[in-house]
Amino acid sequence: MPDLLLELFSEEIPARMQARAADDLRKLVTGHLVEAGLVYEGAKAFVTPRRLALAVEGIPVKQPDAREEKRGPRVGAPENALAGFVRAAGLASIDDAKVVHDKKGDFYMALIEKPGRRAIDVIGTFIPDVVKSFPWPKSMRWGDGSMTWIRPLHSIVATFGPETEEPEIVAFSVDGIGAGDATRGHRFLSPQSIKVRRFDDYVAKLEKAKVIIDPERRQQMILADAKNLAFARGYELVEDAGLLDEVAGLVEWPVVLMGAFDREFLSIPPEVIRATIRNNQKCFVLREARSAMLVNDFILVANTEAADGGKAIVAGNERVIRARLSDAKFFYESDLKTRLEDRLPKFTQIVFHEKLGTQAERIARIEALSAHIARLIDADVQKTERAARLCKADLLTEVV
């Protein structure tokens, strides 16, 4: 049975939107297929920073034929009514209709045979609607066109056919962009046009062009290479599933590198180091395998194989991380100069809620409630009150 390959090639799709977009594409296309009576065997969507792709397997060549019963006028109706019914039902004459009896009398019934449309024609009809109505959280327009997409859409690949035959291009266009069988490889490493046929051919040719289409595989590559680099230095990778998912959405050809920052920054709390490196540079931190203490090396993921082995990329990341950690160290050391208790008076000037008073009043309520609970469970009331009194003090620190 024929398979469908669809690719929507654009400028960079934000990493946070990629997984949802791939799922939406799969649901929208397969929903239209089922609605059209084209029951498929399987479907899987893929996404990289520059493309949404969908492979649907086992689609019938055509829709199933349909038989429709069309009720006509009663027997003995005027000639013009009968003639209108014959035309509408596509009959040669009224004799081709059968007579059906019910409690109101006899009437004509036509059995209309509707041959199913070719699947490739059905697909070419609904995909433009899928693209135009795609539910991006945010979208943009570009050039003189009226279409919106998350980023400018450059090309569409749409091929359909069985494994044993040369696939056909699904004929349609969206805002002047016609479907074809050509895509492009990696932006820097292999930007030339690539002709593709079906999904297995598409995956193989893209990989030769330095594009890994499957986000799960990109994650596996990043994780394996990062662990290997860390192990070679006697370190462990501090794993971060959320960061791994985000970084895999930033690259089409992941290249894992290691950088370092000055050891003096290890005096900063590890949580601050990790947050600074993670949030600003999308890098992973490392720790000693035995002590679990953070080290001054980090892992970064590039989207290209640089001619210098990544030295310039590493140096650029080190420079930015050094600046960020310098800021973090300054703020942390500034915070150490002021006791948490000394920050509390400022809460009298900060409104928590117009109907609930200031943050100071809120803290007083938390303190009273905590002390009450401490007495009920025979806990240390003084320590509980102090913990409650200081629980919001970090909100006034420079680090936070």
Q: pLDDT (tens digit, 9 = 90+) per residue, 142-194?
A: 988 889 999 999 999 999 999 888 999 999 999 999 999 999 999 999 999 99
Burial 17-37 (b: 16+ CB within 10 A, else e): bbeebbebbbebbbebbeebb
pLDDT confidence of 277, banded at 50, 70, 90?
A: very high
Residue 398's pLDDT is 86
159 lies in the same domain as 172: yes
The answer on 329 and 247 residing in a single domain is yes
- Across the range 192-219, mean pLDDT stands at 97
Task: Share the mean pLDDT of the chain.
Answer: 94
Number of CB atoms found within 10 A of residue 135's CB: 10
Q: Looking at residue 321, what is its pLDDT?
A: 97
Give me the pLDDT at residue 75, please: 85
- 383 with 270, same domain? no
What pLDDT was estimated at residue 164? 85
Task: Tell me the C-alpha to C-alpha distance, in Å, between residue 202 and each of 199, 248, 304, 348.
Answer: 5, 20, 21, 63
Residue 97 has pLDDT above 90, yes or no: no
* pTM: predicted TM-score of the whole model, two decimal places: 0.84
Residue 58: HSE in the Cβ half-sphere, 13 Å Cα cutoff? 7
Strand partners, 68: 112
Does residue 177 sit in the same domain as residue 325?
A: no
One domain, residues 92 and 25: no
Q: Which two tokens stand for residue 306?
A: 């640089």
- Give pLDDT tens digits for 45-92: 999 999 999 999 999 999 988 777 888 888 888 888 888 888 888 788
Asked if the model's pLDDT at residue 368 lies above 90, the reply is: yes
Which residue, of 208, 235, 269, is where some domain finishes? 208
192 and 280 housed in the same domain: no
- Average confidence (pLDDT) over 16-32: 98
Q: Which residue type does 280 have?
A: N
Give the end of a domain, one of 336, 357, 376.
336
For 222-255, what is each residue's pLDDT tens digit? Answer: 999 999 999 999 999 999 999 999 999 999 999 9
Mark whether 225 and 291 lie in a shared domain. Answer: yes
pLDDT band (50, 70, 90) for residue 109? confident
What pLDDT, on the 0 to 100 scale, is given for residue 305?
95
Average pLDDT rounded to a whole number, residues 102-106: 83
Range(s) of the domain holding residue 345: 340-396
Are 19 and 52 in a shared domain? yes
- Maximum Cα–Cα distance for the chain, whole Å? 103
pLDDT score for 107: 86
